[in-house]
């Protein structure tokens, strides 16, 4: 009973933190939400926001939001993975990706309760199905913007090379390692760990 109460209180604290800081973040970044759409539309045609189905808490699907960084209908013109040299990335998109600015709309996902600031990164349904047993354990937590895997693979697009075997490399080499890091976070999760991971994420962003 005591263990259950501590888990519930931890979830509540995490949710309050997410609500407060996602709202503050959206307020602070609100000017960018006016400027960035203009830059995106001036560079290429298509929607401002890119939406993609991801798998969240307890296997529930949701739409993850990002600023669009690729040409219109990019997923129909290649695989879902993106390498740093991908020709589908627009000029503005390269800038947004470099500084992780394309991730800002996920503050809306956090505000809606679909994501958290810290948690395993949400994967697309196809990859979750390939490792269903692992994700049954991982998805007992909300996915997040950052975690151990996000920090280690912060330059993931540089590791993925264009080609027919890019997806195989991601699934068999990168994703399998990320899954172990997802599990590590779920096992060791705590509010103090969340603060550390947020600190290191900001550190690497500022350093870049």
Which residue shows structure tokens 């013109």? 77
Give the pLDDT score at 3.
45
- Token pair listed for 139: 């998805």
Give the pLDDT score at 121.
97
DSSP state of 83: -
2 pLDDT higher than 50: no
Mean pLDDT of 87-95: 93
7 pLDDT higher than 60: no
Mean pLDDT of 95-106: 95
Burial of residue 143, with CB atoms counted within 10 A of its CB: 0-12 exposed, 13-18 middle, 19 or more buried: buried
Please, what is the Cα angle at 121 between 11 and 43, to 5 degrees? 125
| Sign of torsion over alpha carbons 23, 195, 105, 107 | negative
Report if pTM > 0.85.
yes
Give the pLDDT score at 11.
86
Confidence of residue 32 (pLDDT cuts 50, 70, 90): very high
- Token pair listed for 27: 């307020």
Give the pLDDT score at 134.
98
Q: 123: how many CB neighbours lie within 10 A of its CB?
A: 22
* Beta-bridge partners for 61: 55
Mean pLDDT of 175-201: 96
Question: pLDDT tens across 56-88, in order?
Answer: 999 999 999 999 999 988 877 777 777 777 889
Give the pLDDT score at 162.
58
- Token pair listed for 92: 């503005």
- Name, in order, each residue with C-beta under 8 angstroms of 185's C-beta and a sequence gap of 6 or more: 118, 119, 120, 141, 147, 148, 149, 193, 197
Question: pLDDT tens across 115-160, in order?
Answer: 999 999 999 999 999 999 999 999 999 999 999 999 999 888 877 7
Whether the CB-CB separation of 183 and 137 falls below 8 Å is answered with: yes
- Name, in order, each residue with C-beta under 8 angstroms of 174's C-beta and a sequence gap of 6 or more: 153, 156, 159, 160
């Amino acid at each position: 009973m005591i263990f259950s109460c501590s888990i519930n209180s931890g979830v509540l604290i995490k949710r309050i933190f997410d609500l407060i800081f996602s709202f503050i973040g959206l307020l602070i970044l609100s000017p960018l939400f006016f400027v960035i759409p203009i830059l995106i539309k001036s560079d290429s045609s298509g929607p401002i926001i890119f939406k993609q189905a991801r798998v969240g808490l307890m296997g529930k699907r949701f739409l993850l939001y990002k600023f669009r960084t690729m040409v219109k209908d990019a997923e129909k013109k290649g695989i879902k993975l993106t390498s740093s040299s991908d020709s589908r990335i627009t000029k503005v998109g390269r800038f947004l990706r470099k500084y992780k600015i394309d991730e800002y709309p996920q503050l809306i996902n956090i505000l809606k309760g679909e994501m958290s600031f810290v948690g395993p990164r949400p994967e697309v349904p196809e990859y979750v199905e390939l490792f269903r047993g692992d994700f049954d354990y991982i998805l007992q937590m909300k996915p997040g913007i950052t975690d151990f895997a996000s920090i280690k693979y912060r330059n993931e697009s540089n590791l993925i090379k264009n080609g027919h075997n890019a997806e195989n490399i991601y699934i068999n080499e990168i994703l399998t390692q990320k899954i172990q890091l997802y599990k590590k976070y779920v096992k060791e999760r705590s509010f103090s760990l969340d603060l550390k991971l947020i600190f290191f994420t900001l550190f690497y962003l500022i350093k870049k």
